[in-house]
Amino acid sequence: AQKVTQAQTEISVVEKEDVTLDCVYETRDTTYYLFWYKQPPSGELVFLIRRNSFDEQNEISGRYSWNFQKSTSSFNFTITASQVVDSAVYFCALSDPSGSARQLTFGSGTQLTVLP
């Protein structure tokens, strides 16, 4: 069975600090996709990034960066120089590659609060 663990339930930082959100996953599949979503206070789910299991290159997008390490089954998300607008719940998710069954398996989410 697939599982996604986000051990950090809540994180609070002061603006301009860097913060890393952890994501550890379990799957028996050799091909899979990993995702990060942001859920701001308004409630919608905002897609941030997708990674497939064959691409272990780290990715940077502005202040956001992602570290995918297959050896430790982790897909961590770092926000550099955090801003108040980054306050949200962040979800890590794992996709069933066959597409016919489980759709997405989500972690329980990390509530990030950035204080001014």
Partner 1 sequence: NAGVTQTPKFQVLKTGQSMTLQCAQDMNHEYMSWYRQDPGMGLRLIHYSVGAGITDQGEVPNGYNVSRSTTEDFPLRLLSAAPSQTSVYFCASRTPGPPYEQYFGPGTRLTVT
Helices (H), 1-116: none
| Lookup result for tokens 């001014």 | 116
Q: Which residue number, 80 or 97, has a Cβ lying nearer to partner 1? A: 97
> Token pair of 58, please?
């780290």
Which of 21, 66, 75, 107 binds partner 1 (CB under 8 A)? It is 107
Which of 103, 112, 113, 116 binds partner 1 (CB under 8 A)? It is 103
For partner 1, the binding residues (CB under 8 A) are: 4, 6, 9, 33, 35, 43-45, 47, 50, 52, 91, 93, 95, 97, 99-109
